[in-house]
Amino acid sequence: MKRTLLLAVSMMMAATLVAQDINTIIEKHEKAINVKKLNSFKTIKVTGSMSQMGMSMDMTIIEKAPDKIKTVITFSGMEIVTVVNGDKGYMINPMMGSSEPVPLKAEQISQSVGSKMLGSSIRKQMEDGKVEFAGMEKFNGTDCYKIKNQTTAGESFAFIDKKSYYIIGIILTTGPADHEMQVEMRMSEFKDIEGVIMPMKTDTYVSGQMSGSLVFTSIEFDLPVNDSEFAIK
């Protein structure tokens, strides 16, 4: 009986230490990139380019807190527009042979809101019990804290650099059980933008193969943005 009680106490103490560890890791990560200042901004505008399968496309992302997002990708003179406004959204993709807006599914909206830059959600996810410490592991040769997160898109792992406390990688397993894919994102070229640390480059690998790159050339905070930019069509 005494042994069982001691084991139970030990397990409770271990669980408490793990909770404290992840809380400390998240705190240091938020301080390292200055999440407090990032979340004080009302708008963000990002310009850059994305490359995929040998093609390069210009890209603009505009966000307005708390949940308005607009992405415009330009390719061969055509604009692919995606807009999310709260729990509604649409896409216009002329490459699919139509210039009419198509409503986004709830899952697509959830993924867009979950990956927005303004309004960090990692602490909220931790408090909701969706984030947990998964040990130490090397990511692309760097010692990292491995953080597990259950998202609407599937199970993901974030890798926080042990020295800088920047998130330098994310591995996401997504898709149906018989067609699961492992998507790996590698963040680099971190830059101080008005006191906030942002990754200016993200390389994406799918099932181990290079899939594409996203490069930011400009990040601007608190530009005036009219709500009409996010009107649902």
175-232 pLDDT, tens per residue? 766 777 889 999 999 999 999 999 999 999 998 889 999 999 999 999 999 999 999 9
CA angle 224, 81, 180 (to 5 degrees): 120
Residue 153, pLDDT score: 63
Torsion of CA 73, 49, 34, 66, to 10 degrees: 0
Region 99-110: mean pLDDT is 90
* Residue 10 pLDDT level (bands cut at 50, 70, 90): very low
Higher pLDDT: 124 or 84? It is 84
What is the rounded CA–CA span in Å between residue 162 and residue 74? 37
Query: Is the model's pLDDT at 18 over the cut of 60?
Result: no
Query: Is the model's pLDDT at 6 over the cut of 80?
Result: no
Q: Tell me which of 2.50.20.10, 2.40.50.140, 3.40.50.1820, 3.10.180.10 is the CATH number of domain 2-230.
A: 2.50.20.10
Higher pLDDT: 170 or 121? It is 170
Annotated domain spans of the chain: 2-230
Higher pLDDT: 71 or 96? It is 71
pTM: 0.84
Residue 142, pLDDT score: 97
Region 15-36: mean pLDDT is 79
Beta-carbon-side half-sphere exposure of residue 76 (alpha carbons within 13 Å): 4
Region 92-102: mean pLDDT is 88
Query: Is the model's pLDDT at 12 over the cut of 70?
Result: no
Mean pLDDT, the chain, integer: 86
Query: Is the model's pLDDT at 75 over the cut of 70?
Result: yes
The residue among 121, 113, 44, 114 whose CA lies nearest residue 83 is 113
Residue 208, pLDDT score: 85
Higher pLDDT: 126 or 94? It is 94
Region 56-70: mean pLDDT is 95
